[in-house]
A = this chain, B = another copy of it.
Amino acid sequence: MAIEGRSETHEGRIRLGMVGGGQGAFIGAVHRIAARLDDRYTLVAGALSSDPERAKASGLELGLAENRCYGSYEEMARREARLKDGIEAVAIVTPNHMHFPVAQAFLKRGIHVICDKPLTTTLRDAKRLAALVEQSGKVFALTHNYTGYPMIRQARAMIADGELGELRLVQAEYVQDWLSQEVHNKQADWRTDPARSGAGGCVGDIGTHAYNLACFVTGMQAESLAADLTTFVEGRKLDDNVAVLLRYASGAKGMLWASQVAVGNENALTLRVYGTKGGLEWDQEHPNVLWFTPHGEPKRMITRNGAGAGPEAGRMSRIPSGHPEGYLEGFANIYSEAARAIVAARNNEAPDPDVIYPTVEDGVRGVAFIEACVRSSGRNAGWVKL
């Protein structure tokens, strides 16, 4: 164990705006902490709510200047683009249906985007957004935050290095219980409303995270899938449980289970990958550990920044092994990777090749996954190409 901190270097903090994330929101506060943690951003503007009163109150509470608390994202985009010290990047933390228009508004004005997932509510919008990003040349980071966990980076590096041999099995789960019964609150309401959430409920909210994680770690995309979506809670308009079989081009197979009604599970995102030469197992609720079994040898506990962990994990860590980092640090890693890309862009440089964050392309794949699941489920879990 080396107990030495990661150094914080500054090349001028990035001026950040936020759309969504006002009082009573969950993920907005998470984004703000993530932006703050490594001191690479300063939040200077916000359209924090679609209700102008609440937007302003929320902004003042966060210490924003009054004239940069906007009542609408359009106004914010317009005005910030014209300011000399206007925002360089915007974080979009609204319900899903607003991701597309908001991202479009800022990209068009040359502002980098950090956007919550899933990318959009339709695959058509997702592809349009990808095209917009391409045209804009701007940084677009999608907060599939679980890819920011150091041991996920470790797993990805090990697989890329061939330590598992040829991959055979990819088992992903994301299981919660907070929607086990009928629930009404700000968080639950939009997530179970097709107009704001899109065609996927559970599959969109957390299934995409699991699928993204599986792809990120293995470096593979599934070729086809068969999905069985269920709505267990009466009256709910979207699925609250999804079971998926997956096939990869290489011949690898996968299963994916996401649920919001499995009583006793808080946020049980797990990934298990098996190849000809070894197996890896990871659990988001114990994120500082990666279990690795080389074929025919004892299982090994690789710890973040500890023995057995490589530079890909170390680079994402702030403190020594045994000092747990968690969800917020993993989320902050996405922000910090995006910051490196934004600063490179500011300097008209390409980012370092080791800068990794989920992109708009990952977002397109995620929406394609949601739509494929919904389509397959509509055909009695028949196979659907991805």
Within 8 A of B (CB), among A16-57: 23-30, 32-33, 36-39
Which of B9, B177, B326 has a CB less than 8 Å from the CB of A326?
B326
- As a 0/1 sequence over residues 196 to 239 of chain A, the CB contacts with chain B under 8 angstroms (1 = contact) are 00000000000000000000000000000010101010000000
- As a 0/1 sequence over residues 1 to 17 of chain A, the CB contacts with chain B under 8 angstroms (1 = contact) are 11111111110010000
Q: Does the CB pair B325–A177 fall under 8 Å?
A: no
Are A274 and B264 CB-contacts (below 8 A) given A4-B26, A26-B320?
Answer: yes
Complex alpha-carbon distance, A259 and B245, angstroms: 15
Which of A75-83, A133-141, A275-283 makes up part of the contact surface? A275-283
The reply to whether the CB of A105 lies closer than 8 angstroms to some CB of chain B is: no
Q: Which residue of B lies closest to A33 (CB)?
A: B37
Complex alpha-carbon distance, A213 and B330, angstroms: 27
Are A266 and B1 CB-contacts (below 8 A) given A63-B39, A308-B297?
Answer: yes
Q: Which residue of B lies closest to A178 (CB)?
A: B1
Which of B6, B187, B265, B326 has a CB less than 8 Å from the CB of A329?
B326
Which of B4, B8, B37, B298 has a CB less than 8 Å from the CB of A303?
B298
Which of B8, B169, B321, B380 has a CB less than 8 Å from the CB of A267?
B321
Which of A119-127, A288-296, A343-351, A357-365 makes up part of the contact surface? A288-296
Q: Does the CB pair B180–A295 fall under 8 Å?
A: yes
Which of B61, B243, B279 has a CB less than 8 Å from the CB of A7?
B61
The reply to whether the CB of A315 lies closer than 8 angstroms to some CB of chain B is: no
Q: Does the CB pair B4–A293 fall under 8 Å?
A: no
State the main secondary structure of chain A at its contact with B: loop
Complex alpha-carbon distance, A382 and B383, angstroms: 9
The reply to whether the CB of A66 lies closer than 8 angstroms to some CB of chain B is: no
Taking the closest CB of chain B, its distance from the CB of A218, in whole angstroms, is: 15
The reply to whether the CB of A301 lies closer than 8 angstroms to some CB of chain B is: yes
Complex alpha-carbon distance, A292 and B320, angstroms: 21
The reply to whether the CB of A101 lies closer than 8 angstroms to some CB of chain B is: no
The reply to whether the CB of A327 lies closer than 8 angstroms to some CB of chain B is: yes
Complex alpha-carbon distance, A213 and B271, angstroms: 24
Q: Does the CB pair B10–A26 fall under 8 Å?
A: no
The reply to whether the CB of A171 lies closer than 8 angstroms to some CB of chain B is: yes
Complex alpha-carbon distance, A301 and B303, angstroms: 14
Q: Does the CB pair B322–A267 fall under 8 Å?
A: yes
Complex alpha-carbon distance, A38 and B328, angstroms: 12
Are A29 and B3 CB-contacts (below 8 A) given A253-B241, A323-B326?
Answer: no
Write 29 A-B pairs (CB below 8 A) sorted by A numbering. Answer: A2-B187, A3-B178, A4-B25, A5-B25, A7-B61, A8-B61, A8-B62, A13-B63, A26-B319, A32-B39, A36-B37, A36-B39, A37-B37, A39-B62, A164-B263, A241-B253, A255-B255, A263-B277, A264-B281, A264-B299, A266-B306, A285-B288, A288-B326, A296-B307, A298-B301, A299-B301, A323-B327, A324-B324, A324-B327
7 more contacts with CB within 8 A, not counting A33-B37, A241-B253, A263-B278, are A2-B187, A5-B30, A7-B23, A26-B320, A177-B279, A284-B324, A286-B324
